[in-house]
Amino acid sequence: MKFCSEGGCVGIAVTGDFCPKHVDPLNRATRNTPRHEMDAWYRLAIWKGPYGVRGMKIRRNPVCETPGCGRKAEDVHHTKPWKDSRDWFVFLGGVDFEFLQSLCKKCHAAITMKEMMLGPDKKLER
């Protein structure tokens, strides 16, 4: 089970790459939906550089922080919404990374899928 490969669709592809709505190629858009404009911040050195926040968080918490998981952390998840407010402080994780969570790929995908199904304004705060 995974997200539908159609850009912008939050449907679930149980088998294959597309949800039931987009299995038929005639129901697919010709271009993918553009990403949020604030996603560009993820390309900045302060996030992904050798001394960036992402790497520091994973070095500090190298194991997935989902209770009971125990796999190696590969992703960093924001636990508080920041894109619409453009909050630089939250983007960088706060004072002590309290707005960031180290996660394995599987747990990060599950959390992101849940949040997308609820809608962008209903991000789960932990």
What was the pLDDT predicted at 75?
Answer: 95
DSSP letter, residue 10? -
Number of domains forming the structure of the chain? 2
pLDDT at residue 61 is higher than 60: yes
What's the Cα-to-Cα distance from 43 to each of 27, 39, 52, 73, rounded to whole Å? 32, 8, 11, 20
Mean pLDDT on 6-16? 83
Residues 26 and 55 grouped into a single domain: no
Backbone φ/ψ region at 119: left (φ over 0), alpha (ψ -120 to 50), beta:
left
DSSP string covering 112-125:
HHHHHHH-GGGPPP
Residue of higher predicted confidence among 5 and 28? 5
pLDDT in tens, 84-126: 889 999 999 999 999 999 999 999 999 888 887 776 555 555 4
Residues 49 and 110 grouped into a single domain: yes
- Pair 68, 99: CB distance under 8 Å: no
Give the pLDDT band (50/70/90) at residue 83. Answer: confident
Q: Residue 18 sits in which domain range?
A: 1-34
Residues 111 and 60 grouped into a single domain: yes
